[in-house]
Amino acid sequence: MNRTIRKLFLFSVSFALMFLLSACSLFNGSEYVETSLRENESGLRNPLMGFRLPFFDAENYPSDVTGDDYQSLLKERPYGTLSREYFNWVELEYDGNSDFDFFLEQSEEKLNQVEKFNIKVTPRVILNWPGQNDAYSGVYWPTDMSAYDYESEQFQERLSLMVHKMAMAWDNDPRIAYIEMGIFGQ
């Protein structure tokens, strides 16, 4: 046991000596760098600390609106870097004949201004939004499907196809923070 302790001691001393010698040779005075950091007196942008902005609606912001204008509209949350955006399923896929290009076109309509505001969007595709007073009355099912028919084989296939389209369109899109899953249910 004494022999093991002696070996460990010699190894530790030789390792420490080697470390000190290499450290001294690296910092011989001419290569030494000193850094001073300045204190940040303003708030930090943190996208996941409850600062998610209200809906981003590119249609309500003309193309000449700047990021500063958008921030002035959102004075309550100046450090927000995320915005939510709900996509009605029927607008991304009107019926079974709607292809991926149609999905991209409709998606781009809502996302085409995002980069100007230095924010990322969390998209969510929805089928139902009870109580909405819009053209669809809160029911956003594709026209060739029966609303609220969650258990049909057609719905299961189309749901899988929709998730695949979302992944293809938004997986590598730098404007997308993450995809919020909550497609069906009320």
Q: How far apart are CA 32 and CA 25, in angstroms?
A: 11
Closest-CA residue to 102 (of 94, 112, 110)? 94
**Are the C-beta atoms of 182 and 124 separated by less than 8 Å?**
yes
Q: How far apart are CA 72 and CA 34, in angstroms?
A: 39
Closest-CA residue to 147 (of 180, 125, 85, 138)? 138
**Are the C-beta atoms of 80 and 74 separated by less than 8 Å?**
yes
**Are the C-beta atoms of 177 and 122 separated by less than 8 Å?**
yes
pTM: 0.62
Q: How far apart are CA 179 and CA 42, in angstroms?
A: 30
- The one-digit pLDDT tens for each residue of the chain (186 residues) are 566 666 666 666 665 656 665 655 555 556 667 778 787 777 665 555 555 555 555 454 444 445 555 555 555 555 667 778 889 999 999 999 999 999 999 999 888 877 777 778 889 999 988 887 788 888 899 999 999 999 999 999 999 999 999 999 999 999 998 898 877 666
Distance between the two ends of the chain, CA-based, in angstroms?
70
Q: How far apart are CA 41 and CA 49, in angstroms?
A: 19
